[in-house]
Chain A
Amino acid sequence: MNDRPTAEELLRAVERFLEREVVPRLDGVPKFHARVAANVVAMVAREIETADAHEHGEWLRLGELLGSDEPCPEGREARRDALVERNRALVARIRAGDADAGTFRAELLAHLRRTVAEKLDVAKPPRER
């Protein structure tokens, strides 16, 4: 285990440095890029905080839609690969027309709404939501 500050706390420190020390001292294109950098660092911090819950939730919802109760793999990369795999299977169902109407469509829309809202929670700071 690493000592504190945690990864999130360190990223928040970088964000604060960029926003308070760097952005005010720059102009034009570099100022804009410094602001983008601060936003990206904050985004990564939000992702670290939420990734486990978001990805497990997405895994379970995809399992319900696809009729599979396989457990979610351990480890970041394995979990991401498995999620990509399940999403590919879902895309195949959509392309086959299974989601053109009916309950599957309604369930799928609810799942996608949730998944996309969680992506936005990470991508955008609360003041821009």
Chain B
Amino acid sequence: MTEPAPQTPEAMAERLAGWLAGQLGSDPARVRVHGLRRLAGGASRETWAFDLEVAGGFEGAERRTLVLRRDPPGRAGEGDRGLEFRVVRAAHAAGVPVPRAHFACSDLGVLGTPFYVMDFVPGEALPRRLLRDERYAGAREKMTGQLAAIAARIHRVPTGGPELRGLAAPPPGVSPAEAELERVAQGVRAMAAEPHPALDLAERWLRARLPKRAQVTLVHGDFRVGNVLFDEGGARAMLDWELCKLGDPVEDLGWLCTRAWRFGNDERPAGGIGSREELLAGYKSAGGDSVDPAHLRFWEAMGSYKVALVFIQQSWVYLTGKVPSLELASLGRRTAEAEEELLRLMEESA
């Protein structure tokens, strides 16, 4: 790194404009970045929007709105942003609705952390609006089927090529479900500040129910309503690919059905908008495999176990002094929500 990373949006915009000029092979004097602004959401990743102005045009437009995704300052290198960028491009090429990604930068000298730049897709991303607003009643009708079709497409993205090398995958001879259970169990053990008997009980219960079948495909890894951009017509784009990996495709469907992402609409298990049956039927009719409901239920329960880890991890980040955030501090107490759901699932299955 030659100079310290810029701190103000103005300084960031200037650095970004210079770097983008290099990517476009343009004279830096002809490239401007306007209105760089942080978009809401994302405790673990920052999202910014800006208007790029290129004298002479970029892909035929003088001015266009783009989005920048980066690790928060001080937390660079927790994930491979370059790989995420290549996965988003591969998904786009395979017909998955995602914003087109244009440039990736791993040089920490530009903005202090790795980032990539993609198209801005207009739309709403707040699940509570989708679930409650009259405006989105039509979208709610369509979206279970749309999400099923998006999942089916993601799970057919070719992963054998060199550009997706390096994707996280289960160790040889270990099924994706077993690998994921192990990862979560280890995380809970390493990071929980106190014993959680409900989670130990859930771990044993899940271990006894590991799915036998082990297909391995590209998995989005955070497939839930909160990561979908939508408008009145339903789903527009799948966002937040930072947890993509090779795994069991049913994991994405189970995560969508996990209780935490229904925002209280428990009578509609699929993301608070649809039924499990609709989801599986839509998945199959979009070219996905036929999924055993018990297989889906396993990943749905795994989802709550993972949610428990997410809350434990976020409060751990606070408790170890890494990030002094009030929001992170408060999330530790939400672990009980996931424990409650796991206990309910265990009692239901007894």
A residues contacting B by CB (< 8 A) are 28-29, 32-33, 36-37, 39-40, 43, 84, 87-88, 90-91, 94-95, 97, 99-100, 105, 108-109, 112-113, 115-117, 119-120, 122-124
Contact = CB atoms under 8 A, between A and B. Distances in A.
A36 B340 contact: no
B333 A122 contact: yes
Contacts of A43: 330, 333
Contacts of B343: 109, 112-113, 116
B291 interface: no
Which of B40, B201, B204, B329 is the most central at the interface, judged by chain A CB atoms within 10 Å of its CB? B201
A33 B326 contact: yes
A94 B194 contact: no
A118 B216 CA distance: 40
Interface in B299-350: 326-327, 329-330, 333-334, 336-337, 339-340, 343, 346-347, 350
B128 interface: no
A33 B327 contact: yes
Nearest to B37: A28
What 9 A-B pairs have minimum CB-CB distances, sorted nearest first?
Answer: A119-B336, A123-B333, A87-B195, A94-B200, A116-B339, A112-B198, A91-B195, A90-B197, A116-B340
B268 interface: no
A40 B329 contact: yes
B70 to A, nearest CB: 16
Nearest to B205: A100
A40 to B, nearest CB: 5
A37 B204 contact: no
Contacts of A105: 350
Contact of A120 (B38, B340, B346): B340
Contacts of A91: 195-197, 200
A122 to B, nearest CB: 7
Contact of B204 (A28, A100, A109, A116): A100
A36 B327 contact: yes
Contacts of B200: 91, 94-95
A117 B340 contact: yes
Contacts of B201: 94, 99, 108-109, 112
B195 A88 contact: yes
Nearest to A88: B195
Contacts of A97: 204
Interface residues of B, number: 25
Contacts of A84: 194-195
A95 B194 CA distance: 16
Given A116-B339, A119-B333, A123-B336, 5 more contacts: A100-B208, A109-B201, A113-B343, A119-B336, A120-B336
A90 B40 contact: no
Contact of A39 (B194, B330, B350): B330
B88 to A, nearest CB: 25
Contacts of B327: 32-33, 36
Contacts of B337: 120, 123-124
Interface string B19-39: 000000000000000000010
Interface in B97-150: none
Contacts of A95: 200, 204
B195 A90 contact: yes
A23 to B, nearest CB: 14
B280 to A, nearest CB: 29
A122 B201 CA distance: 23
A123 B347 contact: no
A43 B343 CA distance: 23
B204 A94 contact: yes
Contact of A94 (B197, B208, B339, B347): B197
A115 B337 CA distance: 12
A88 B196 CA distance: 8
24 contacts: A29-B40, A33-B326, A36-B327, A40-B326, A40-B329, A43-B330, A87-B194, A88-B195, A90-B195, A91-B195, A91-B200, A94-B197, A94-B201, A99-B201, A100-B204, A105-B350, A109-B201, A112-B343, A113-B347, A119-B333, A119-B336, A120-B340, A123-B337, A124-B337
Nearest to B337: A120
A109 B329 CA distance: 28
